[in-house]
Amino acid sequence: MARRFRFITVERRGPVAVLRLERPDKRNAVNTGMIEEIGAFALGLPDKVRVMIITGSGPHFSAGLDLAEHRDRAASEGLKHSRLWHRVLDGLQYGGRPVIAALHGAVVGGGVEIAAAAHIRVADATAFYQLPEGRRGIFVGGGASVRVSRLIGVSRVTELMLTGRTLDAEEGQRIGLSHYLVEPGKALAKARELAATVSANAALSNYMILNALPRIAEMPAEGGFLAESMAAALTQTSLDARRGIEAFLKKRKASFD
């Protein structure tokens, strides 16, 4: 059953929640209300929701920051607004619940930033990507300097921001903006299929994959190895680890709480 907020709709089927950006007449441009709703919804999800999918209504994922709303922001307001994006997207990335982005049409500016905060990105062949901030006289503010740079490399981000050029779905797939590239109209179905797989994992394993892994990857090697051992020790002594290993040895499918 779909529930409508002002700028998003959400629907839950078992352990999977689908959040849809719902401003198709404005190409899902992200105004303050929408980013706040994404944050409130994602942070308020009950534990039984194991995976979240984020997608866009209409022919585009998102045209990024709502430029009409941004026009008159003073520097201090712009700073707070950008920090709001950071809080919300940090909540998505590190909330402990895998997030899958199903992308189609425009994935532009802040749209790329939202997608980059997701853990798995599925694009359909209509997807195209842009970082047009240079053309608009602004700068990225939703975390792209960090997240997108880490995803595709700062050199590529520099080139994309300087030229504002459009990358098609194929190029996006080649450079790592998407993990999966599917036929037009099939991104959400593929995301649901992946969500079924991911939601069947042990919750603590998923939590460590989302929280320990990226932080360990940023650490100096020696600290990283120790942190990895601690994450491994904690995970492998859980009840779910006993169930998962037992199931494998008995040639059964594991089932977790």
Nearest CA to 130 out of 107, 105, 97 is that of 107
Q: Which of 74, 64, 2, 4 is nearest to 35 (CA)?
A: 64
With CA atoms as reference, report the closest residue to 90 among 161, 23, 42: 42
Q: Please answer whether residues 22 and 33 qualify as being in contact, where contact means their C-beta atoms are separated by less than 8 angstroms.
A: no
The nearer residue to ligand 1HE, 100 or 148, going by C-beta atoms, is 148
Of these, 10, 42, 106, 241, which contacts ligand 1HE (CB under 6 A)?
106
| Span of 46-54, 57-65, 182-190, 202-210 interacting with ligand 1HE by CB under 6 A | 57-65
Nearest approach in angstroms of CB 45 to ligand 1HE is 23
| Segment interacting with ligand 1HE, rule: CB under 6 A, options 39-47, 129-137, 186-194, 214-222 | 129-137
Shortest Å distance, C-beta 231 to ligand 1HE:
32
Q: Under the criterion CB under 6 A, does residue 65 sit at the interface with ligand 1HE?
A: yes
Provide the minimum distance between the beta carbon of 37 and ligand 1HE in the complex, in angstroms, as a whole number: 15
Nearest approach, Cβ of 24 to ligand 1HE (angstroms)? 9
The answer to whether 139 and 133 are in contact (CB under 8 A) is: yes
| 85 in contact with ligand 1HE (CB under 6 A) | yes
Residue from 66, 147, 194, 202 in contact with ligand 1HE (CB under 6 A)? 66
Query: Tokens for 104?
Result: 């189609």
CA atoms of 130 and 168, how far apart (whole Å): 9
Measure the CA–CA gap between 243 and 126, rounded to whole angstroms: 42
* Contact flag: residue 63 with ligand 1HE (CB under 6 A): yes
242: burial class by Cβ within 10 Å (0-12, 13-18, 19+)? exposed
Distance between CA atoms of residues 246 and 254, nearest Å: 8
Residues contributing to the site for ligand 1HE (CB under 6 A): 26-27, 29, 60, 63-68, 85, 106, 108-110, 132-133, 136, 138, 140-142
